[in-house]
Amino acid sequence: MDFIFQRTYRGPLKAVVLDWAGTAVDYGSFAPTAVFLRLFESLGVTISAADARSGMGLMKKDHLRTILSRPAAADAWKSARGASATEADIDNLFEHFVPMQLDVLKDYAEPIPGLQGTLKELRQRGIKIGSTTGYIRSMMDILAPEAAKRGYQPDCIVCPDEVPAGRPYPWMCYQNAMQLGVYPMAAMVKVGDTLTDIEEGLNAGMWTIGLSMTGNLAGLNETDVKALTIEQKNEVRKQAEKQLYQAGAHFVVDGIWDLTAALDKVQARLSQGWQV
């Protein structure tokens, strides 16, 4: 046999899986950053905002571990605490982090501009709306109802503590597929603002769209972004886009308001027989 034949999905997109902070709500992804800074400060350890943002997208305990693996944060910990952070320290930090994060989450539930219009359009196209997050369920139990009050209610929410592991593993996306009743994975698109969002989607065999201006990589709120000059905005966009594309994103757009246009491009590739 000289040729083998391969089956390729060419049908319509059926679902998107949105990240939460920096993608659907919390412009600039500030909720976790603020809490990590305060948490370390309360222990006499000063870390930079860049270190606090370094593990964004991961389950929050993995995020903590990532922060403490960064040289500057590791040094700050060691000089303040007298020894390098251990796994027991990370357990302890996480225990303190959870109630602090729960306390402030309701203040970070505002949908990012354009979310409602985008979702309305997707629903009209028959596309389902799933979601994954780095927040554990107890956090989503606070954030999701607050977001719902403000008009954002995805069809399903999967948290990292409900599957064997969070990002970059694909399990939360598979759970979305099951709960939404959608397959194949090539009919689904992961949308997120962090590199682990993109990895998660690719690991699940999904199309991926990165968001450059509203998330963790830009690290700016809406007011900050509006205050940028065109040149500054281009520079922020360029830096974020570069990282998201290097992580393997199929397309990168500024924010959720541009999602339908990006989905059209994914659909065009699908229809032409491109594979994820």
Q: Which residues bind Mg ion (CB under 5 A)?
A: 19, 21-22, 193
Nearer to Mg ion, 43 or 163 (CB): 163
Residue whose tokens read 């099951």 = 178
Q: Is 120 assigned a catalytic role?
A: no
Q: If phi over 0 gives left and psi between -120 and 50 gives alpha, with beta otherwise, what is residue 249? A: beta
Nearest partner of 173 among 148, 146, 207, judged by Cα:
207
Nearest partner of 243 among 41, 70, 56, judged by Cα:
56
- Residue facing Mg ion at closest CB distance: 22
- Measured from the CB of residue 51, what is the shortest distance to Mg ion in angstroms? 17
Nearer to Mg ion, 21 or 247 (CB): 21
Catalytic residue among 19, 51, 193, 258: 19
Q: Which residues contact 266 (CB under 8 A, 6 or more apart)?
A: 13, 189, 207, 209, 250, 251
The answer to whether the beta carbons of residues 108 and 21 sit under 8 Å apart is yes
- Measured from the CB of residue 65, what is the shortest distance to Mg ion in angstroms? 18
Nearer to Mg ion, 175 or 216 (CB): 216
First to last CA, the chain: 26
What is the enclosing helix (H) or strand (E) of 16? Answer: strand 15-18
Give the other-Cβ count within 10 Å of 157's Cβ: 24
- Measured from the CB of residue 170, what is the shortest distance to Mg ion in angstroms? 17
Q: Which residues contact 257 (CB under 8 A, 6 or more apart)?
A: 112, 113, 114, 115, 117, 118
Nearer to Mg ion, 24 or 45 (CB): 24
Q: Is 107 assigned a catalytic role?
A: no
Catalytic residue among 26, 51, 60, 61: 60
Q: How many CA atoms lie less than 13 Å away from 29 in the CB half-sphere?
A: 32
- Measured from the CB of residue 133, what is the shortest distance to Mg ion in angstroms? 7
Nearer to Mg ion, 140 or 186 (CB): 140
- Measured from the CB of residue 271, what is the shortest distance to Mg ion in angstroms? 29
> Would you name the residues annotated as active-site residues?
19, 60
